[in-house]
Amino acid sequence: MSRLAIPKTYKLFIGGKFPRSESGRTTEVSSPAGEFIANVAKASRKDARDAVVAARSAWAGWSGASAYNRGQVLYRVAEMLEGRLDQFVAEIVESTGVKAADARSEVTAAIDCLVWHAGWTDKFAQVHGGANPVAGPFFNLSVPESTGVVALVAPSVAGSSLLGLVSSIAPALTTGNVVVVLASELAPCAAMTFAEVLATSDVPGGVVNILTGAIAEVTPWLASHADINAIDLTGAAREIAVECERAAAETLMRVVRPGTFGPTESAFNRIAAFVETKTVWHTKSLA
């Protein structure tokens, strides 16, 4: 007997839970052929504020965890993503129209991205920090620490509905930051399914918060939020980015401009973009 399919409704991911937008708004997502795929929540200003509150609450625990533990958690996310590889391939093909082989390459690249960053969690400080030569009976050490709450605008270019999201999130998480990320506006479905992976892995609630909606609407709210420490505008259009840079200057928020990194780039400097360097002086023993 035939039955009606149940279209999926994608919600937001805030504080480890899946709430609807407080505004009640949704956006229809269609295939390249114009066929309806799903309804996706359209985040409001209050949703963005709630995500920042959840992220700030999670920061102490995540940044205070050992670097080795954070690496284990990121590796577990990669494991969970690989276990659902075929599902993500099918979802990307349906929503973007790319070939299955290209979608599979994107998902495997996202898995590799997570593994690569998992390996850096307990090595980054050794490369980015170090002992500094000083004149006098002192030790002078540079120690990288997390910036805090980082807002991210994931790219909305072809071949990045999942990989662009992961490439944005992973560098910030590596050093103990927590994130509020605005998913691809054109193809948000894979991002919200990735939220299901996060929810069923070892990532503490609030460490990653994913919003869907209009980039032009939500990004300026994030850029002007006084409790956000840094913002990555990689996925924002230039005119939006300029407006956001002005807003971010009001709170001395750190800004990563569009074009600084490729939309799916994994690089040491991308991890370094979200750290503060603490300098420690210690007296040498004269005994």
Domain boundaries of the chain, sorted by first residue: 13-283
The amino acid occupying position 21 is S
Sequence-separated (6 or more) residues with CB below 8 Å from residue 10: 29, 38, 39, 40, 41, 188, 189, 192, 193, 212
Name the pLDDT band for 70 (thresholds 50, 70, 90): very high
pLDDT in tens, 181-231: 999 988 899 999 999 999 999 999 999 999 999 999 999 999 999 999 999
Nearest to 193 by CA among 92, 111, 101: 92
Nearest to 166 by CA among 275, 263, 66: 263
Name the pLDDT band for 176 (thresholds 50, 70, 90): very high
User: Do residues 164 and 184 touch, judged by C-beta distance below 8 A?
Assistant: yes
> Among the residues of 97-208, which ranges form H helices?
100-120, 124-128, 163-174, 189-199
Share above pLDDT 70 across residues of the chain, in percent, rounded to a whole number? 98
Name the pLDDT band for 287 (thresholds 50, 70, 90): low
Q: Does CATH place domain 13-283 in 3.40.605.10?
A: yes
User: Against a cut of 0.95, is the pTM above it?
Assistant: no
Phi/psi region, residue 166 (left: phi>0; alpha: psi -120 to 50; beta: rest), is alpha
User: Do residues 102 and 156 touch, judged by C-beta distance below 8 A?
Assistant: no
The rounded mean pLDDT for the chain is 93
Confidence (pLDDT) at 78: 98
Confidence (pLDDT) at 186: 87
